[in-house]
């Protein structure tokens, strides 16, 4: 490949070794590490079709990059381009993953005050939820469980803080839920279930 590029572009071997080759390795690493981040995201969200496709191109690009380094093992610029491309690809992959915001999040909201206003908002917005009466060390409490598309998690938490400013909440990822299409599209009906307080 080196000879072909030199002849095709009419450049000197020095220019190729110290500029073109490191740049190609850098671009290859950025691409394959970004694909790796996306592949892991698809695996975590159960997307069985796309993960193998991304894995194929990720490994192919990696082999091309490492092959060029082995062929030019004395070129220190290749090592620098490889490491820099890895770091850059990690950052770009993270940003792409944030933009895609794929998947669902389980939100648990714990409040000691009345949660009727928040429940009304959940109903209006089409969120399915479970409401549980519980107890903590200070007395009675209300716990709400719901599943939120990750793309809407920021606006959802803003609403929680508005309706329940003193509430404690936790957020975690979930791989799969029942009625997944309904949750992702925010469709109704809304399921509400109140469980009685269990006392010993």
Residues 69-84: tens digit of each pLDDT = 888 778 888 889 999 9
Are residues 85 and 131 located together in one domain of the fold? no
Are residues 14 and 93 located together in one domain of the fold? yes
**5: Cβ–Cβ under 8 A, 6 or more apart, which residues?**
11, 16, 20
Share above pLDDT 90 across residues of the chain, in percent, rounded to a whole number: 24
Domain membership of residue 108 (yes or no) is yes
Burial of residue 126 (number of CB atoms within 10 Å: 0-12, 13-18, 19+): middle
Burial of residue 30 (number of CB atoms within 10 Å: 0-12, 13-18, 19+): buried
Parallel, antiparallel, or unpaired for β 104-111 and 194-195? unpaired
Are residues 9 and 94 located together in one domain of the fold? yes
- The answer to whether the pTM exceeds 0.85 is no
Count the domains in the chain: 2
What's the CATH code of the domain at 121? Answer: 3.30.70.120
**46: Cβ–Cβ under 8 A, 6 or more apart, which residues?**
175, 176
Beta bridge partner(s), residue 110: 143, 168
Q: Among 94-108, 141-155, 175-189, which range has the highest average pLDDT?
A: 141-155
Distance of alpha carbon 90 from its chain centroid, rounded? 13
Domain membership of residue 200 (yes or no) is no
Last residue of a domain, one of 78, 100, 122: 100
- In this structure, of 9-13, 91-95, 167-171, 174-178, the range with the lowest mean pLDDT score is 9-13
Are residues 69 and 40 located together in one domain of the fold? yes
Supply the range of the domain harboring residue 81: 2-100
d(CA 13, CA 159): 61
pLDDT at 104: 85
Tell me the CB-side half-sphere exposure of residue 115, using CA atoms within 13 A: 26
**What pLDDT digit, counting tens, does each position of 107-126 carry?**
999 988 888 899 999 999 88
Is there a cis peptide before residue 152, judged by omega within 30 degrees of 0?
A: no
Confidence of residue 48 (pLDDT cuts 50, 70, 90): confident
Are residues 40 and 124 located together in one domain of the fold? no
d(CA 11, CA 8): 8
pLDDT at 66: 86
Domain membership of residue 184 (yes or no) is yes
pLDDT at 195: 41
Are residues 9 and 91 located together in one domain of the fold? yes
- Token readout for 3 is 């000879």
pLDDT at 96: 87
Share above pLDDT 70 across residues of the chain, in percent, rounded to a whole number: 80
Burial of residue 197 (number of CB atoms within 10 Å: 0-12, 13-18, 19+): exposed
Are residues 96 and 115 located together in one domain of the fold? no
């Amino acid at each position: 490949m080196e000879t072909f590029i030199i002849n095709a572009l009419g450049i000197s071997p020095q220019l190729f070794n110290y500029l073109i080759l490191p740049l190609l390795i850098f671009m290859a690493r950025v691409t394959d590490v970004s694909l790796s981040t996306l592949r892991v995201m698809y695996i975590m969200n159960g997307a069985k079709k796309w993960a193998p496709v991304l894995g194929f191109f990720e490994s192919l690009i990696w082999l091309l990059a490492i092959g060029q380094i082995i062929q030019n093992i004395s070129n220190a610029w290749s090592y620098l381009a490889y490491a820099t491309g890895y770091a850059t690809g990690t950052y770009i992959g993270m940003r792409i993953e944030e933009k895609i915001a794929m998947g669902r999040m389980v939100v648990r909201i714990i409040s000691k005050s009345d949660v009727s206003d928040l429940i009304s908002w959940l109903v209006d917005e089409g969120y399915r939820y479970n409401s549980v009466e519980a107890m903590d060390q200070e007395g009675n409490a209300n716990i709400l469980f719901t599943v939120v598309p990750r793309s809407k998690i920021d606006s959802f938490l803003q609403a929680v803080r508005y309706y329940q400013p003193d509430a404690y909440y936790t957020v975690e990822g979930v791989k799969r839920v029942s009625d997944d299409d309904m949750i992702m599209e925010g469709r109704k009906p809304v399921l509400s279930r109140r469980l009685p307080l269990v006392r010993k």
